């Protein structure tokens, strides 16, 4: 008969295997889209992930030994997943706030599509629910376990809905697939974990003193938070730059949108006419063109 410990070991191996596969897939994807030589950061990330898993497993064992060989209390993987829920929740909320500011600054007169508004509302609901669920887990509320499972299932639903709406957006599909994998891993953990069952049971006797190994887990949570801030800043800078550029060329893009075969355009000052020349192009050939007056002509 297979023991619970065997299931636990299998779960740990599952986390390790999936994480390594995701990192390897990300490495292959990055190398296939880059003209430069393979970067060492993918290998470094793989080593760092394995080291992180090893340290959190070690922290879990220390927490068990300090609790008289009982898996109870907010420590180990439970603490780490609470940190991930908090980080991901705030990241989604900040992204939507950034999107709102982009609309106010560049597209305040734009008529937003229903699908865009719908997906943003779903994402915002997921972000807020993730933070609330993490808070309930941290405060060791009895219903927190099933609340977080419900939030993660809802997030999977949101990801699937966004897949249908986003269509062939490969970047979103790739990133959301990683999120989907983590959702499945955490759902499995919160349903099967003995620590979770013991900690959120009715009248559970939680140790008053936190595990000494929690400092290690906090360190990895802070590391994840810092990395998330860096990636968020980089992606948002690129997004704002792209939107600022497209807003500047909005006259031309609005004109070229009527020609469905357009794959590129030229928009710049034309000395001959003294205006802004817009050319809609396909495979380098001009399909159509027009001239717009300069908004603030210089004397």
HSE-up of 100 (CA within 13 Å, CB side)?
A: 9
Q: How far apart are CA 32 and CA 245, in angstroms?
A: 27
CA dist., res. 290 & res. 130, Å (int): 50
pLDDT at 107: 60
Tell me the pLDDT tens digit for each residue of 186-197. Answer: 999 999 999 999
Query: For 75-97, how does the pLDDT look when each residue is reduced to its tens digit (9 = 90+)?
Result: 999 999 999 899 989 988 998 88
Angle ∠(284,288,289) on CA atoms, nearest 5? 100
Edge to edge, the sheet with strand 275-282 lists 264-270, 275-282, 285-292
pLDDT value at residue 36: 36
CA–CA dist 51, 68 (Å, integer): 26
Judge whether 248 and 228 are in contact, CB under 8 Å. no
Residue 252: HSE in the Cβ half-sphere, 13 Å Cα cutoff: 26
Largest Cα separation within the chain, whole Å, is 89
Quote the percentage of the chain above a pLDDT of 90: 26
Asked whether the beta carbons of 278 and 266 are under 8 A apart, the reply is yes
Q: Would you list the domain boundaries of the chain?
A: 4-248, 251-292
Q: How far apart are CA 15 and CA 182, in angstroms?
A: 9
Q: How far is CA 286 from the centre of its chain?
A: 39
- The torsion angle over the Cα atoms of residues 252, 253, 259 and 261, rounded to 10 degrees, is 120
**How many DSSP H helices and E strands does the chain contain?**
9, 3
Distance between start and end Cα atoms, the chain: 89
SS3 content of the chain, % helix, strand, coil (to 5): 70, 10, 25
Range from 16-25, 99-108, 173-182 carrying the lowest mean pLDDT: 16-25
What is the SS3 assignment for 290?
Answer: strand
Task: Judge contact between 67 and 195, C-beta under 8 A.
Answer: no
Tell me which residue of 105, 62, 52, 68 sits closest to 219, measured CA to CA.
52
Q: What is the pLDDT of residues 238-280, one digit of tens each?
A: 777 766 666 677 788 888 888 888 888 888 888 888 888 999 9
Distance CA(40)–CA(37), nearest Å, equals 9
| CA distance linking residue 61 with residue 10, whole number of Å | 16
Average pLDDT of span 123-144: 92
Q: What's the rounded Cα separation, in Å, for the pair 3 and 43?
A: 35
| Dist CA 81 CA 46 (whole Å) | 19
- Whether the CB-CB separation of 252 and 267 falls below 8 Å is answered with yes
* Partners of 265 in beta bridges: 280
CB within 8 Å of 199: residues ≥ 6 apart? 72, 73, 74, 78, 140, 206
Percent of the chain with pLDDT over 70: 75
Angle between helices 144-166 and 114-138 (to 10 degrees): 160
Q: Is the pLDDT of residue 141 over 70?
A: yes
């Amino acid at each position: 008969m297979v023991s619970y410990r065997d299931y636990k070991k299998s779960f740990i191996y599952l986390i390790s295997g999936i994480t390594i596969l995701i990192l390897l897939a990300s490495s292959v994807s990055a190398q296939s889209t880059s003209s430069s030589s393979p970067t060492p950061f993918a290998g470094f990330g793989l080593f760092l992930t394995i080291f992180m898993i090893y340290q959190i497993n070690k922290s879990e064992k220390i927490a068990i030994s300090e609790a008289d060989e009982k898996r109870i209390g907010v420590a180990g993987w439970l603490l780490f997943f609470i940190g991930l829920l908090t980080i991901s929740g705030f990241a989604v909320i900040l992204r939507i706030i950034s999107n709102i500011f982009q609309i106010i600054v560049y597209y305040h007169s734009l008529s937003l599509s229903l699908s865009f508004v719908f997906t943003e509302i779903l994402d915002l609901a997921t972000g807020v629910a993730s933070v609330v669920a993490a808070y309930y887990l941290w405060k060791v509320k009895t219903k927190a376990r099933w609340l977080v499972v419900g939030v993660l299932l809802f997030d999977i639903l949101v990801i699937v809905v966004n897949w249908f709406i986003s269509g062939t957006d490969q970047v979103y599909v790739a990133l959301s697939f990683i999120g989907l994998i983590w959702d499945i891993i955490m759902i499995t953990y919160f349903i099967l974990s003995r620590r979770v069952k013991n900690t959120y049971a009715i009248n559970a006797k939680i140790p008053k003193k936190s595990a000494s190994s929690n400092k290690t887990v906090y360190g990895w949570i802070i590391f994840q938070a810092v990395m998330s801030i860096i990636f968020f800043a980089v992606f948002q800078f690129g997004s704002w730059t792209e939107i600022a550029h497209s807003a500047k060329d909005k006259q031309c893009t609005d004109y070229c949108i009527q020609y469905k075969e357009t794959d590129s355009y030229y928009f710049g000052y034309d000395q001959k006419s003294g205006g802004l020349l817009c050319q809609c192009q396909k495979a380098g050939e001009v399909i159509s063109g027009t001239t717009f007056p300069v908004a603030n002509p210089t004397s």
